[in-house]
Structure 1
Amino acid sequence: MGSTHVTSSAKAPLDLIYRKIFLRLLPFLMILWTLAWIDRVNIGFVKLTMTEDLGWSEAVYGLGAGIFFIGYFIFEVPSNLLLQKIGAKKTLMRITIGWGLTSIAMIFATTPTIFYSLRFLLGVFEAGFYPGIILYLTYWFPAKRRAKAFGTFMSASAFAGVLGGPLAGWIMNTFDGVNNLNGWQWVFIVEGTPSVLAGFVVWLYLTDRPHQAKWLTVEEQELVAEDLAADNNAVEGREHSLLQSLKSGRIWQFIAIFFCIISANSALTFFGPTLVQEVGFKDPLAIGWIMAAVNLAGGIGMILNGLHCDKTGESRWHTATAVTFGAAGLAGAGLLLNVSAAGTLLCLGLAIVGTMSAIPVFWQMPNWFLAGGAAAGGVALINSMANLAGFGAPFLLGAVKDSTGSLSPGLFIVAGVEVLAALLILKLVPSFRTTDAAAAPAVQDASKESEQAV
């Protein structure tokens, strides 16, 4: 069981079984993540008219956009531990219906207090979804197959931008004034309702674990169980205790790295449409289509980087290189903002492709060092604490724009934080390859050396 090697006769059936699992789970999980992402970030599009209608400053918007991540932070670890205890079906159903109803309730966000409260509540309900899926996929795929699964799932956030931007723009232009509601209010109604409905589908469609999957034969269930057991035993140095992993410093290192990555991701998510508006585009639908194009490129980048990561078995350089491209794009956008509209948009695209491409391959790193309870709690803790950057970055950009009249200084700051992510990866994360079973002892030794240095 301790070896990750499989015979050639076993490899072909396993390839077919994992393809079957992939096609069963990933399309549906992508739909859920698309809905979640649209409901989380549509505030970036409604902001184009909402703040003007309500007379709010950039700082009020930035605080409201970011306060989502405070609720996210507080409830994410408990949610992920609950998923491990009661299963994905119950947990994801609760989360999906909750965020859908809260998103619809955003039509009442006509004062800053109500706005802050509902954004906080949206974070509370969505907490646990993203890390829950990361944990859930580890129940179905061994390490050497996860980057593709992670990248495919996470690319839904990019494709949500492809769909969400034009959809929000069309709703705002078409429904403004209908039933005495503003266009931005209709965005919340139209985009929140499918999430509520999807929550009930979760219960009917998802399966918690491979051994419960009636759509797999008994033989297929056994082969997957054996393969996953061999994968879990491949690196005996994986930490199973959340407390021990916290003491060793390993989780804190990954929190710092992901915090830097999320700083850029959140800045681009919540101020990307504003940046497009700054270079001269005023029509919400036009802005939506531009954001759709750059998010499509980001989604493709996520999938390709994940595929190449699985092929090579290396994720450290895949992550560091991607965030470096993201930093270059952010800095370029800041430099060209008042110089060239085309150049600014190209840099925006580069920043989104780089930053988004780093996220799925990043998650290969903590999953190589953590297992069991440490993986369930650790993944959630990494994601929840790092996502506090989602609170800080939008608020920073809003405050900087209010005080300077330009987004450029804020973009430079976020670019610097993104560079720091690359440096931390190369400094703190030991080299490893998931496709090389013989490398396991070396990984363990490197892990111990790194932990002793903390």
Structure 2
Amino acid sequence: MDAIYRKISWRLLPLLMLCCVVAYLDRVNVDLAQRHIQDSLAFGNQVFAWGAGVFFFAYALFAVPCNLLLEKLGTRKILLRMMLGWGAATAAGAFVRTPLEYYTIRFLLGMCEAGFFPGVILYLTYWYPAARRARVFAVFASATLVGGIVAAPLSGAMQQALHLHSGMQGWQWLLLAQGLPAAVLGIAAYFYLDDHPDDAKWLSGFEQQMVRQDLNRDETALAKAAGVDEDEDDQDEPPSAFAIIWSLLRDPAICLLALANLLLAGASYALAHWAPALMQRWSAGGPQSGLLAALPGIVGIVGMIAIGYDSDRRRERRGHFIACMVLAAGGLGLAIAADNGLAWSLAGLSLASLGISSALPLLVAILTDLLNRRRAAIGIALVGGLAMMGGALGPALSARVLAWGDSAAMLAALIGMYLAAGLILMLALRMAPRRGGPDAKDGLRDKIARN
């Protein structure tokens, strides 16, 4: 079976990861070009803050509708539409002149990107059984860290090289140039990907059957945990989207997972927002700060893939997630104790990056373990969409803490958020009934609410 899933991974993941890198670049390019846009358009910092909030609000608002469309129409069609849409929105940003136009573009970008990450997670559940998902989610999510490493140097080089070419500012060329790859990759995904294993002509009939058996085994285990006869359940009339949303909102385990994800995302966006300033302070503004800033991301990439693989190998999720939150808190604690010393501060940030980066794939794997086929599309998007609000709340909260204290106080607040996320996840799993599955060894409790 390992050979079958390696074949699937080499077919799907490289293209999906490239799409993820492009999504990250298109999301953060205005932040990297902020100073140049301000010089050109006289936008204040408040305009960019509101623009970020509008993006995350649109993302949260449209995550569920996008995933429902993906489930109904297929991944290829929706991915094509999303990537054409956010590529066009990114390119159109080159021609904004007023704050209202800027807010409109950021809203459209959030709306089009809303279905990408939750949609790809849902798509991967069509191909991989629960026992293999942590490593796959980790490999896919590592593309975000790759994007974070290349974004700043790539953005700076493009703006410098294209500034005033054909009379346009460098930041305008940056947005135009980075909008194009999304459209090209969307077209490539439409022709290259297959919606389901049964559609994949590059898999033999035997390989398709083996994948189908693994996925059906998961569904059977979920149905038994809920006390539902699978044959009878398949004959029931499918519940409406509103009924599924209501059942999820009444499910304490899912709600607590959403809260843990919100804290994780909020703290992580806050740390990413302030990390460049911290690095400048630790390195005393030296030219090496840009190179050093890549080290935590590299550590995070290696760590998240290794921890995801180990989680699948041991068939355990909860302990790995708690360990990641302890690593995140301990790393930030080390950075505080280093008192702006470069070596130990960088070591602490790298340790924190390892824990933070590795936690998200584990949480997503736990979430997909809790959802049957009927609830997966909405559940993944609902938890992921709500967590994106942390992208707006996290940096705002950390800025408020900085206004009261210093960077040590801000890092201490983030430590509290990470530890709270770990405790909330433990509580969520205690509130769900047991089933045999990927975490049967440590008694992962998986919840299937009856529709």
Shorter chain as denominator, the TM-score bin is 0.7 to 0.9
Mapping 1:153-172, distance limit 5 Å = 153-172=140-159
Give distance in 1, aligned partners of 2:137 and 2:413.
29
CA drift of 1:404 comes to 5.9
Question: Structure 1 residue 89: deviation in Å?
Answer: 0.4
Q: Distance in 2 between matches of 1:436 and 1:99?
A: 38
- The reply to whether residue 252 of structure 1 matches residue 239 of structure 2 is no
Matches within 5 A, 1:339-378: 339-378=340-379
Residue 358 of structure 1, CA deviation? 0.5
Greater CA deviation, 322-331 or 298-307? 322-331
1:7 matched to which residue of 2? none
Distance in 1 between the 2:49 and 2:325 partners?
23
2:264 pairs with 1:276 = no
Q: Does 1:327 align with 2:314?
A: no
* 8 A contact 2:221–2:436 mirrored in 1: no
**CA distance in structure 2 between the aligned counterparts of 1:218 and 1:264, rounded to whole angstroms:** 46
Superposition deviation, residue 90 in structure 1: 0.7
What is the alpha-carbon distance in structure 1 between the residues aligned to residue 386 and residue 225 of structure 2?
25
Distance 1:126-1:179 versus aligned 2 partners, 3 A rule:
same
Question: Is the counterpart of residue 262 in structure 1 residue 250 in structure 2?
Answer: no
Rounded Cα–Cα distance in structure 1 between residues aligned with 2:276 and 2:71: 37
Cα distance in 1, alignment partners of residues 36 and 284 from structure 2: 13
Which stretch of the first structure deviates more once superposed, 285-294 or 379-388? Answer: 285-294
With over 3 angstroms needed to count, the CA separation of the structure-2 counterparts of 1:210 and 1:29, relative to structure 1, is same
The 3-state SS of whatever aligns with 1:159 is: helix
Alignment equivalent of 1:179, drawn from 151, 155, 166: 166
- For residues 39-118 of structure 1, the aligned pairs below 5 Å read 39-47=26-34, 49-51=36-38, 54=41, 56-118=43-105
The counterpart of 1:237, out of the listed 202, 225, 229, is 225
TM-aligned CA deviation for residue 326 of structure 1: 1.9
* Gaps in structure 1 of 5+ consecutive residues: 1-13
* Worse overlay, 52-61 or 166-175: 52-61
Deviations along 1:68-88, whole A, 9 cap, x unmatched? 110000000011111111110
1:123 aligns to 2:125 (yes or no): no
* Distance (whole Å) between structure 2 residues aligned to residue 295 and residue 37 of structure 1: 14
Partner of 2:3: 16
Paired with 2:84 and 2:201, the residues of 1 have a C-alpha distance of: 26
What secondary structure does 1:429 align onto? helix
1:210 to 194, 197, 204: 197
Residue type at the aligned position of 2:277: T
| TM-score when normalising by structure 2 | 0.86
User: Are 2:318 and 2:444, in contact at CA under 8 Å, matched by a contact in 1?
Assistant: no
Instruction: Write the deviation string for residues 11-66 of structure 1: whole angstroms up to 9, x where unpaired.
Output: xxx22211111111111111111111111123342235444665555444333234
Query: What residue in structure 2 maps to residue 146 of structure 1?
Result: 133
Whether 2:197 is the aligned partner of 1:222: answer no
Give the TM-score normalised by structure 1. 0.85
Show CA shifts across 1:115-162 (max 9, x none): 333222211110011011111111001011111111111111111122
User: Residues 56 and 289 of structure 1: is their aligned pair in 2 closer, same or farther, counting only changes over 3 Å?
Assistant: farther
Percent sequence identity over aligned pairs: 34
Aligned-residue offset at 1:400: 5.4
1-structure distance, mates of 2:266, 2:135: 24
Partner Cα separation in structure 2 for residue 432 and residue 318 of structure 1? 19
Alpha-carbon RMSD across the aligned residues, in angstroms, is: 2.9
Q: Specify whether residues 412 and 63 from structure 1 end up closer, same or farther in structure 2 by C-alpha distance, changes over 3 A only.
A: farther
Answer yes or no: is 1:299 the counterpart of 2:301: yes
- Residues 278 and 184 of structure 1: is their aligned pair in 2 closer, same or farther, counting only changes over 3 Å? farther
| Shift in CA distance, 410/188, structure 1 to aligned 2, threshold 3 Å | farther
Q: 1:271 to 1:58 in 2, by over 3 A?
A: farther
- Give the total of aligned pairs: 430
| More displaced stretch, 37-46 vs 371-380 | 37-46
Q: Deviations over 1:230-256 (max 9, x none)?
A: 122123225995533332322211110
1:413 Cα deviation (Å)? 2.4
The residue that corresponds to 1:318 in the other structure is 320
SS at match of 2:150: helix
Structure 1, 43-52 or 263-272: larger mean CA deviation: 43-52
The AA in structure 2 aligned to 1:81 is L
Question: Whole-Å Cα distance in 2 between the matches of residues 111 and 331 of structure 1?
Answer: 42
179-188 or 190-199, which moves further after superposition?
179-188
Q: Corresponding residue for 1:414? A: 414
